[in-house]
Amino acid sequence: MAHTRTPARDLALIAVFAGVTAALGLIPAFYTPFSPAPITAQSFGIILAGTILGGRRAFLSQLLFVALVAIGLPLLAGGRGGIGVFASPTVGFLVGYVVCAGVIGWATYRKGAPYSIGWGLLINVLGGMVLMYAFGIAGMMAVAHLSLPAAVAANLPYLIGDSIKVVAATLIAKGVHAAYPGLLPWRGARPAPEEAAHHAEA
């Protein structure tokens, strides 16, 4: 059954996913000797927002989150917040939160329903890892004055954890889109009437 989009519903979803990213900040950050930026769980919220909300709402949800951080709320992992974090080596990731959520959401929405795990994994890897690392590397080079090879090496500790986040977000998105098929425009073959009736009853 399709779900009607309304401004109130959009605002609620934007607020909820900003809250999800903030809640993931309660998980302690893990620092390594190889990188000036900590390993956190919050990038999982960015990927999840993109896979579920679509580009505009995902973008706005993370823009709201970053705005709350900027005004001083300690929502980043480790209780960090305030305008000073935008002068830290993590600034590239903060910008990436907003852009990557929007890109993942845009690409997911363009692919449409039915949600494909294969395409979802590809979109989430490119948007949630490759693009995010590009922003993170740029921030480290600009603020921490690392060389390109050093900045790339500083991102290597994130690979295993981020790969797990990508897989988990993709599987969760598959379940959400199966339960709420109206979140994405239908691009594939229409389900048989019996299957459509089953979804309507669920």
Question: How many folded domains does the chain comprise?
Answer: 1
Torsion sign over Cα 85, 90, 92, 98: negative
The closest of 120, 136, 127 to 103, measured between CA atoms, is: 127
Instruction: Evaluate whether residue 112 is within a structural domain.
Output: yes
Q: Residue 175 domain-assigned?
A: yes
**Cα angle vertex 173, ends 167, 179, to 5°?**
145
Interval 127-149: pLDDT, tens: 999 999 999 999 999 999 999 99
pLDDT in the model for residue 182: 84
Structural domain containing residue 55: 7-184
pLDDT of residue 186: 87
pLDDT at 155 over 60: yes
Q: Is residue 154 in a domain?
A: yes
Decide if pLDDT at 3 tops 70.
Answer: no
- Residue 83 located in a structural domain: yes
Q: Is residue 15 part of a domain?
A: yes
Output b/e per residue, 96-116; b: 16+ Cβ within 10 A: bbbbbbbbbbbbbbebebebb
CATH of the domain at 22: 1.10.1760.20
Q: How far apart are CA 3 and CA 177, in angstroms?
A: 11
144, part of any domain: yes
